[in-house]
Structure 1
Amino acid sequence: MGQNDLHEFASDRPITKIENDLLGRADFSTDLADAMASWHGNDSLVVALHGDWGSGKSSIKNMALSRLEEIQENKPDVIEFSPWEWAAQEKITASFFQEISKSIGRKDKSKSGKKLAETLKKYGRYLNTGESVLSGLSGALPTLFVLATVVGLGGNFSDEAWVKNVCSSILFVLGVWAATLKWGKDLVSKLSGNIDETSKERAQSLSDIRQELNSLLKRRNNPLIVVMDDLDRLTSSQLRMVFQLVKANLEFPNVVFLLLFQRDIVEDKMNDGMQRGRDYLEKIIQVPFDIPQIEITRLHSLLFEKLDKIIEQDKSAAKMFDSSRWGNIFHGSLHAYFDNLRNVYRYTSTLSFHFALLKGKKAFEVNPVDLIAIECLRVFEPNVYREIARSKEILTKNSSDRYGENKGSTITLIEGFLDKASPNKREFVKEMVEQLFPTIQWALGGVQYSGSSANTWLREMRVCHASNFDKYFQFSIPSGELSNSDLQEMLSLTSDAEEFCSFILSLKERGILKNALSQFEAFTEIIPLENGNAYIKGLLDIGDQIDHKSIGFTMFSSNTHAVRLTVWFLRRIDDMEERGKLLLECFKASRGISIVEQILQADENRREKLDVDQVLLDREFDQLKAEFVKKLDQMAVGSPDELLTHEHLVSFLYRWKRWGDEKKVINWLKCQAESAEGCIELLKRFAGKSSSHSSGDYVAKITTYIKLESIENFLEVGSILEKVCSLDDTILDPEGQEALKAFRAALEKREKGISDDW
């Protein structure tokens, strides 16, 4: 792979040498070349090479020409002429003789070669003059028709003979005028130029020049091979011009034509109502060949070789590659799109480009097998690809999250974008989509997958997981999503508590912590158990430094995700005594309190409900509660301001009061509430948020509130009111202002007899 062709974008070009043959067509090309080189008939030989778009016609042609170049004795003169390049200028005949004459002049410097070149040039001028006249007349016919209609109608309105004679004269004059306008200077110059040239030569008829050409070509020991490619790009009239050129005007000895085109297209263009296009071609072409059938195993081997090179660019991608899944998805669907060489090159070059975009710093960002399949849809089924890109929700939602959904509507949506598949490819697309998105199999009568499968899909970076989906269509990491590189780095840092904690806090700075912790839950099962001490301590350390406020009923806070990560890892340790000792050891070494508090609270609730699915044994449970109280006692004395401003203060107070010395807790709070500043800090901690929607609202209205009853579990409201009643709101920060406003509103409600319930 060259420096200037990183992704092999130019590989769609046909090969030029036999040694580059990858599909076993070299022998056919060599035989074709030898057959054309041996032609010495008294008439021209017309050979056609038929093949569909992308089937390799041009590659076979190039290999045949390469073989002809190797011939030493009686080496044929090969002339390549592309009618399509001259079709737009309507100069096919003129350009053909110019090009063939120039080519003969360059290749054959002998006296007879120069004579042949000059005679071909002369012959072309004769034919070109006729072509120009016919072309100009054809172009003028619409104008003549309009003029004839107008003047003819004028003559019909009068029975006088002189009127009819005048109209006829006018018609003649206007006809000449219209033709002159239509043909213009170009035609006049062609006619005068050709006449001038021919006047300088000895007077010869077209028949004389043909006889001269016939004689010159007959004396040659080597044939003249004329190659015309891309004939299927021409219009019907242009095709007829080319075939007339081949059969009527170049029926000479030692001349071979090699014509390349897609047969059905040309036959269809040559149908004219009087005869079938196939019959027309059979009168012109003596030796028709079809491109040899591609050996599919060779083609697929080439595809696999190129895919291997792409995947080997990234060690992480190679490690993620699942050979079993690849085998199923290739043989089940992908193979149907690789039946010619052009498709292989076209596909692998764009895949290579997109593969490079998804290389992460430490890991490949998507599942390589899924990327290969999605890229196949993008290249060969663009309509299906677009519909899939718009259908994230339906394609990534687990069956467990679809309770109450109408299966029929889901099936209709799926069938809708399957109907956009190419003809005869619908079943292959259906198979591909089902393998890429097992999440939809519930609607198609298949398996319903559990939440554990979703964790696996997330770890494997599968497209069917919502956190990964957008990467396949944006070719970058969507805003708010964690890259696979980040997830892999996070996993590797679980052996170092400080590094792990530092990395978590960096995610907080980037504003993606909540999503990161949520995604990392899928990796809990693969964290090495020997990393337990560092991993648990790291989670406990960051627990108090991350947000703990949940939104609504379903959106967890970062702190809640951290609790889940801790508990899920602990439950992997079957020995509950060992489990409890690990958590206690980490808790003693950590400054964090909130995660252990929530674990203890949840386990206390299980004990009250006689739920046997407890995380801790009783002894470790009691030891952890004692350690929790000890830490709060120490904070109350050593760093009271830190405890007072702690996000989890209110929650701590309830557990501290119940599991520790209630009097010590109340006295500490009274001490904090002696100043107005302390009271405001307490009110901030007791303030909560509620959201509400009114009819016609697009966003929720957020309200700050305080429940007086919550404060009264620890302090008298009156003592706080005394400190803040005359406080100037303007000296407070926005959070303090909101808290004070909510406190006053709660007092007003109580005076009106309205309860604290929200």
Structure 2
Amino acid sequence: MRKYISDINQNYSLIKLTEYAVILSTILLTIDLLNLPLKYLLGDNKLFIFLIAGAVIILLILKGIEFGLIDTLKLTTVNIIDAFSVTMIFSSTIYLVIASFYGFLFLYKSISLFIIVIIFFSIILGRSIYLKKKKIEAKKYTPNIVDLKDIYNGNFKLEEDQLVLIKEEEVNYDLLERENIINQLYNAILQSKPDGKFVISLEGGWGSGKTTIINNVKKQLRNTKEDIIIIDEFDPWSYSDQRSLFYKMFDIIIKKSGLKYNTLAAKKMAEEISENIFGTQKSTRILKTFFENENDVVTLKNKINDYLRLCGKKVVFFIDNIDRIESENIILLFKLVGNILDFNRVTYVLSYDDDRIRKIFNNDLNIDYKYLKKVIQMQIRVPEVNENALNNLFKKSLNNLLIEYGEDKENLNYYNCIINFMCEQKIDVRDFKRFINSVIGSVFSGSSYLNKRDLMIIEYVRLYNLPLYQEIYQNRIYFISHDKRQDKEAYSTSFNKREFNHNAKEFFDELFSNEKNSVFKNILAEVFPYVKKYNDNQDLEYEGVTVQDASYPDIIKNKRICSAKYFDLYFTNTINDFVLIGERVEGFVDDLNKTKDFVTKKKIFSELLESVHYTYQKELFERLEFYIEDLKEEVLFDLVTILFNEIHEIDDSSAFFALTARSRVEVIVWELLQKITEEEYEEFLNNIQDDYEKIEIISSILYWFNNDREGKNIEERKEKMQLLYKDMGRAIIDNNINLYNDSYYFPKNIWGLARLYEEDQEELKNYIKNITDKENIFRLIYDCISLSYGKKYRYSIRQENLENLTTEEYIDNILEETEPSTSDQKFILRVYENYKDNVTDRFEEKGIILNELKNINL
């Protein structure tokens, strides 16, 4: 309740409310003493009086509803209801005391007054409880707008699902080692003892820290033992009208100096000065009737000067943001300081951007800038910010932010290029705050899934050079260097690299010929390999040369902007299937590393496989290959076992100049086999030695053993795999294991055996004759069929493929004894007949052409 009453006093003043209570109680007592209510109620017009009174009461109730009386009761701040309630209690109490003292307090009056007091006291009590509850709730609110100093010192906490934002307000601390300039201005003010006025200018560019320097000086002046009056409330930017600017400046000097002088006389002086500056107003003519003596103005000014001289005080008048005000007001302010408000012992500190003021004087006002020499007695220039101090401020603040957002300390150096670039650009602290508020929060929010550094850089470009940002997006072909097949326009440049290199050089030459763009060249090279090559005077693409890019795994894993898979997302703030697949692979690796049970691991893999459409399995396993190094040693054996066992469930659709999803898994299996222990490798070989249905898969894995360009093979493991392969092939032949039997059949699996016996085709053909009959002949023919595709799908038989496995005569003999029973068998027969009949199209190519891929089940 005490705090509640204090709030009422602060907002409405209890003295004022008591005054109103005295007036109200006096009116009520007067009405009561004159017996006015009873006089009219006992008269002939009492019905009329009741009607009028009732109407007034109803109107008051309706007006209360109209003006939101109920809502006012719910306000969480002290308002007119609280003030009115206190006034009614005070006035009722006054009335009660006086009426009791003079003996006309009757019972009905006592009851009425008691009811009134109870009603309004209840309102006050209820309001005080309500406001106290709201204040307790308000204390639970945790602001996320912090000061830069807190971030620099690490004195802030990031709440869950919140951003950290920096407030933009004047501060009285220094983070940029500007003690010298602060002390210079402080000493200039303290040590100057002018008899008249003294004017100091603090000059520096926008954002150079002038306001911060002034605030630090004011803090030191307030802590000094000197008797100094500081005037810093005057902001000339707030006044567009010259008269209001003058009146406010004059008024604040009179009030802050402590001079107690006749208000009308001060007004007269202001009007006299105003008349000399702006011309006569009606108010001036009126005031002249009170001041006949023209010397009254001089007298008042002399008294102000005498007071300032004799009181022993020094007045320091700080005026900031002068360069932001209207041109006419600028020259007025300098005139006021220089000639009109030139009181004794007043030190003016004028802060402004001298380059802007010079332009205004020369261009807008047509006044020689040397005019200021008559006004300014001491010029202090804000020096350039120490680059090391600025770098330290940016780096330490940004590092503290990144750590709070969850970035590992080991990765902080990854962002140094951004900090160095900001320092090279010499952006000021205000721009740095803007960067943090506009970029850091959005980059490190929970919804951000792209590369943090790339996103920070491109967002920095958007913030400070929007035309360049738009040029990058609109000319993507010169910035997308990887996964070009995902972007038709970018991929089209791959077919004429010489022309592309020429056009790219011309584009970058023109783009960076603009000075505003050229300063971004090095920072763009950090995220766009093409820009880096341009900077190094290299061709963007090498004609006829395929170079293995060691940075590609990083580009894919970290979703870099130079990849066509992610380029658009940096500009559109959307998500695509590549991001979703990446997240699923990351989740799979994380779950696998946490799981010990083999059955659970197998289930996790099945869920991964089912989470994407089969057409995206290629992308899925390409991504998984980049995460092999992130797998724990104890999960490698289980994973390679699962991949090998489930490999036939993986899509094998042909890809244009790329490995199929299944072929990519074969590569992953080969890589994992180099990472497991020798004991695990022996166990793996032992486990698969009877998997004859996968002899083609084993053959393909051996291909990667034989084509190890990176030296990943572990000694003797290739030889052991080759030995297993040969033993399995020998077992199939010797034991007449039927690869076309349902137990071992898988399309094209026979080719794993065929490669093993390519030097002894006769033995292979004899084996095939032994295992084929009219029940499985279509499986044999299907193994001879090749699939090629462009816009359509062509199924055809190449003579060399057929002759590697069998003969036309053998197939024809079996076909004479059987008929196709399914649509797939009929289709295979069509392809075979097309081959036999030597039917060709206008390009002299054989085969059956389909618009869609046919899923053949035999």
Distance 2:397 2:322 in 1: 32
Match of 2:549 in 1: 451
Match of 1:60 in 2: 213
Distance 1:124 1:742 in 2: 107
Q: Which amino acid is 2:178 matched to?
A: R
Of 365, 369, 378, which aligns to 1:278?
369
Match of 1:676 in 2: none
Of 471, 474, 499, which aligns to 1:387?
471
Distance 1:250 1:396 in 2: 64
Q: Which amino acid is 1:96 matched to?
A: F
Counterpart of 1:258 in 2: which secondary structure?
Answer: strand
Counterpart of 2:404 in 1: which secondary structure?
Answer: coil
| Closer, same or farther: CA 638–530 of 1 in aligned 2, 3 Å | same
Of 846, 851, 855, which aligns to 1:757?
846
Shift of 1:352: 2.3
Report whether the alignment pairs 1:251 with 2:342.
yes
Q: Which amino acid is 2:608 matched to?
A: I
Counterpart of 1:451 in 2: which secondary structure?
Answer: coil
Match of 1:584 in 2: 685
Residues 70-85 of structure 1: matches in 2 within 5 Å?
Answer: 70-71=223-224, 74-85=227-238
Distance 2:342 2:273 in 1: 14
8 Å Cα contact 2:323-2:352 kept in structure 1:
yes
8 Å Cα contact 1:347-1:376 kept in structure 2:
yes
Of 232, 256, 263, which aligns to 2:323?
232
Distance 2:749 2:636 in 1: 26
8 Å Cα contact 2:228-2:315 kept in structure 1:
no
Shift of 1:280: 1.5
Shift of 1:485: 5.1
Shift of 1:38: 6.4
8 Å Cα contact 2:584-2:608 kept in structure 1:
no
The alignment covers a number of residue pairs equal to: 638
Match of 1:366 in 2: 451
8 Å Cα contact 1:501-1:541 kept in structure 2:
no
Match of 2:621 in 1: 517
| Closer, same or farther: CA 227–687 of 1 in aligned 2, 3 Å | farther
Match of 2:502 in 1: 408
Distance 1:604 1:58 in 2: 69
Shift of 1:536: 1.3
| Closer, same or farther: CA 122–395 of 1 in aligned 2, 3 Å | same
Report whether the alignment pairs 1:343 with 2:436.
no
8 Å Cα contact 2:207-2:429 kept in structure 1:
yes
Q: Which amino acid is 1:357 matched to?
A: S
Of 748, 771, 775, which aligns to 1:651?
748
Which string of whole-angstrom CA distances, capped at 9 and with x for unpartnered residues, describes residues 157-195 of structure 1?
A: xxxxxxxxxxxxxxxxxxxxxxxxxxxxxxxxx933443
Of 166, 184, 189, which aligns to 1:36?
189
% identical equivalent positions: 16
| Closer, same or farther: CA 506–591 of 1 in aligned 2, 3 Å | farther
Distance 1:216 1:548 in 2: 96
Distance 1:399 1:442 in 2: 18
Report whether the alignment pairs 1:203 with 2:307.
no
Shift of 1:119: 4.3
Distance 2:732 2:400 in 1: 57
8 Å Cα contact 1:42-1:252 kept in structure 2:
no
Distance 2:766 2:276 in 1: 113
| Closer, same or farther: CA 463–589 of 1 in aligned 2, 3 Å | farther
Which string of whole-angstrom CA distances, capped at 9 and with x for unpartnered residues, describes residues 287-340 of structure 1?
A: 11112442322221111111211221355544444x3x6667765x55302453
Of stretches 260-269 and 240-249 in structure 1, the one that deviates more from structure 2 is 240-249
Shift of 1:633: 6.7
Of 198, 202, 210, which aligns to 1:45?
198
8 Å Cα contact 1:334-1:432 kept in structure 2:
no
| Closer, same or farther: CA 590–456 of 1 in aligned 2, 3 Å | farther
8 Å Cα contact 1:384-1:418 kept in structure 2:
no
Q: Is the radius of gyration larger for structure 1 or structure 2? A: 2
Counterpart of 2:291 in 1: which secondary structure?
Answer: coil
Of 86, 105, 113, which aligns to 2:260?
113
Q: Give the structure-1-normalised TM-score.
A: 0.69
Q: Give the structure-2-normalised TM-score.
A: 0.62
Match of 1:565 in 2: 668
Report whether the alignment pairs 1:556 with 2:659.
yes
Q: Which amino acid is 1:557 matched to?
A: T
8 Å Cα contact 1:51-1:263 kept in structure 2:
yes
Q: Which amino acid is 1:397 matched to?
A: S
Distance 1:627 1:45 in 2: 108
Residues 357-756 of structure 1: matches in 2 within 5 Å?
Answer: 357=445, 365-366=450-451, 368=453, 370=454, 373-390=457-474, 392-397=476-481, 404-406=497-499, 407-422=501-516, 426=518, 429-439=520-530, 441-442=532-533, 444-445=536-537, 450-459=548-557, 463-467=561-565, 469=567, 472-473=570-571, 477-481=575-579, 486-492=584-590, 497-498=601-602, 501-502=605-606, 504-509=608-613, 512-524=616-628, 527=631, 531-552=635-656, 554-570=657-673, 581=682, 583-585=684-686, 587=688, 593=694, 596=697, 599=700, 602=703, 615-617=718-720, 618-625=722-729, 649-652=746-749, 654-655=751-752, 662=768, 665-667=771-773, 670-671=774-775, 691=789, 700=791, 702-703=792-793, 705=795, 722=819, 753-754=839-840
| Closer, same or farther: CA 753–378 of 1 in aligned 2, 3 Å | closer
| Closer, same or farther: CA 682–38 of 1 in aligned 2, 3 Å | same
Distance 2:246 2:729 in 1: 97
Counterpart of 2:723 in 1: which secondary structure?
Answer: helix
Counterpart of 2:205 in 1: which secondary structure?
Answer: coil
Match of 1:159 in 2: none
Which string of whole-angstrom CA distances, capped at 9 and with x for unpartnered residues, describes residues 468-492 of structure 1?
A: 6556555665442357654444444
Q: Which amino acid is 2:644 matched to?
A: L
Report whether the alignment pairs 1:123 with 2:269.
yes
Q: Which amino acid is 2:506 matched to?
A: T
List alignment gaps of at least 5 residues for structure 2. Answer: 1-141, 147-161, 485-493, 708-714, 755-763, 848-858
Match of 2:166 in 1: 10
| Closer, same or farther: CA 639–48 of 1 in aligned 2, 3 Å | same
| Closer, same or farther: CA 499–394 of 1 in aligned 2, 3 Å | farther
Residues 129-208 of structure 1: matches in 2 within 5 Å?
Answer: 191-196=281-286, 198-199=287-288, 201-205=290-294, 208=296
Distance 1:655 1:518 in 2: 24
8 Å Cα contact 1:366-1:461 kept in structure 2:
yes
Distance 1:416 1:252 in 2: 59
Shift of 1:226: 3.0
Counterpart of 1:61 in 2: which secondary structure?
Answer: helix
| Closer, same or farther: CA 280–403 of 1 in aligned 2, 3 Å | same
8 Å Cα contact 1:487-1:520 kept in structure 2:
yes
Match of 2:402 in 1: 311
Shift of 1:55: 0.7
Distance 1:752 1:596 in 2: 33
8 Å Cα contact 1:543-1:559 kept in structure 2:
yes
Of stretches 628-637 and 584-593 in structure 1, the one that deviates more from structure 2 is 628-637
| Closer, same or farther: CA 604–253 of 1 in aligned 2, 3 Å | closer
Q: Which amino acid is 2:443 matched to?
A: F
| Closer, same or farther: CA 267–275 of 1 in aligned 2, 3 Å | same
8 Å Cα contact 2:235-2:320 kept in structure 1:
yes
Shift of 1:266: 0.3
Match of 2:155 in 1: none
Distance 1:603 1:300 in 2: 50
| Closer, same or farther: CA 63–43 of 1 in aligned 2, 3 Å | same
8 Å Cα contact 2:483-2:563 kept in structure 1:
no
Greater RCO structure (CA 8 Å; 6+ sep): 1
Which string of whole-angstrom CA distances, capped at 9 and with x for unpartnered residues, describes residues 326-379 of structure 1?
A: 667765x5530245322332333334213313777xxx85264x5555454444
Distance 1:392 1:505 in 2: 33
Distance 1:45 1:439 in 2: 59
8 Å Cα contact 2:705-2:718 kept in structure 1:
no
Counterpart of 1:285 in 2: which secondary structure?
Answer: coil
Match of 1:167 in 2: none
